[in-house]
Amino acid sequence: MKDQFLSVEKLAVGYGKTTIVKNIQFGLNEGELCGVVGINGIGKSTLLRTLARLQPKLQGEISIRQNKLTALSSQELAKNISVVLTDPIATRNLTVLELIALGRQPYTNWMGRLNANDVTKINECLQLFQIEALKGKKCYELSDGQLQRVLIARAMAQDTPIIMLDEPTTHLDLYHKVHIVKLLKDLAHDFGKTILFTSHEIELAIQLCDKILILDGAENPFGTTAELIDKGSFTRLFPHEVVQFDPNSGTFKISK
C-alpha cells in the first residue's frame, strides 16, 4: 500500500486518550472513488477529520505520494486535500460565487486577491457543476441539494488531488443522493481526483464506488465491492437477526 497515492498504515483515531477506531489500513490510487461505511458512531467522521488533519491521529501513518501528512505545511496541505464537512458554514450570507472563490485561498496573495487564473478556475467550476445561474444567490437561499453541490464545487475550486467529504448525501432524497455520488464518480474518473467520502448509504456505495472501507471496529476490511462480498464483510456488518445482506443483488434486507 505504501507506493499508492494515498496510503494509510495501522491508523488509530480518536480524541485524547480515547481510541474510537484502530487498525485502519488502506491505499488509494489517483482517480479512485472510495466510500467509508459503517454503523452509526463507529468513527467514520473522526477518521475523515483525521485523514484531513483537522484533528491529530493517535497512531499509525498517513502518507500522500509517500510524504507523511504530518510533514506537510498547512499551505501544502491545503493544496493537497480539500474537504466538504457536515459543519454548517458559519456565514450563510455569502453568495455562491464568494463561497466558491474562497476555495482559491491557498493560491491567493496575502490580501486574498484573485488573479486571472483563479477567476478561470472558478468559472470552470461554475460550468462543471452547472451552477452559473446560482452564482449571485446567497447561500441561505439555496436548497440542501444545491448547497451540497456548491460546497463540492468549492472543494473542486481548491484544485487538490484529494477531496474528502463527510456524509455528503445526508438530508438529500434518493434522486439527489445518486446524483451527488455520480458526480463524485465523474470527478474521480474524468479529473483523476482521489475521492473519499463517508456515508450511511452502503447500497449506493456498493453500486458506485471503486473501493469501499468498512469500519467494523475490528478488521476494518477494505477492497472492491466484489472482494468484500467474497470475504463476507457486508454479511457481518449488521446483526444477522436484524438485517441480512444478499450477495447476489448487493442489497440489504430486513430479517423476518
Partner 1 sequence: MRRSKSYRISFVVLFIALVLSLLLNISLGSVSIPFPTVLRAIFKGSIENESWLYIITDYRIPKAITAILVGSGLAVSGLLMQTLFRNPLAGPFVLGISSGASLGAALLLMGASLFSGLVIYGLASSIALALAASLGSFLVLLVVILVANYVRDTMALLIIGLMFGSITSALVGVLAYFSDAEQLQRFIFWSFGSVGNLSWPQISILLGITVIGFLIALFLVKYLNAYLLGENYAKSLGVPLKRSRLWIIIAAGLLAGGVTAFAGPIAFVGLAVPHLTRQIFDTTEHRVLLPAVMLYGAILMLLCDTLAQLPSATIVLPINAITSIVGAPVVIWLLVRKRKLIF
Footprint of partner 1 (CB under 8 A): 49, 52, 54, 74-75, 77-79, 81-83, 85, 87-91, 93-94, 97-99, 101-103, 105-106, 108, 110-114, 119, 158
Residue with smaller CB distance to partner 1, 49 or 193: 49
CA distance 57 to 41: 18
What is the closest distance, in whole angstroms, from the C-beta atom of residue 149 to partner 1 in the complex?
16
Residues with Cβ within 8 Å of 103's Cβ and at least 6 positions away in sequence, in order, are 82, 122, 125, 153, 154, 155, 156, 157, 158, 159
Residue with smaller CB distance to partner 1, 164 or 205: 164
Residue with smaller CB distance to partner 1, 2 or 113: 113
Helix segments in 12-166, DSSP class H: 44-51, 74-80, 96-102, 116-128, 144-157
Residue with smaller CB distance to partner 1, 78 or 178: 78
Residue 32 in grid coordinates:
479512485
What is the closest distance, in whole angstroms, from the C-beta atom of residue 111 to partner 1 in the complex?
6
> What is the spatial order of strands in the sheet that 59-64 belongs to?
18-28, 6-15, 59-64, 67-68
Instruction: Find the Cα–Cα–Cα–Cα dihedral 178, 206, 25, 156, rounded to 10°.
Output: -20
Asked whether 209 and 203 are in contact (CB, 8 A), the reply is no
Instruction: Determine whether 117 is exposed, middle or buried from the number of CB atoms within 10 Å of its CB (0-12, 13-18, 19+).
Output: exposed
What is the closest distance, in whole angstroms, from the C-beta atom of residue 135 to partner 1 in the complex?
10
Residue with smaller CB distance to partner 1, 39 or 114: 114
Residue with smaller CB distance to partner 1, 148 or 233: 148
Asked whether 159 and 121 are in contact (CB, 8 A), the reply is yes
Q: Phi first, then psi: what are they for 108, rounded to 5°?
A: -85, 165
What is the closest distance, in whole angstroms, from the C-beta atom of residue 71 to partner 1 in the complex?
15
What is the closest distance, in whole angstroms, from the C-beta atom of residue 170 to partner 1 in the complex?
16
What is the closest distance, in whole angstroms, from the C-beta atom of residue 256 to partner 1 in the complex?
43
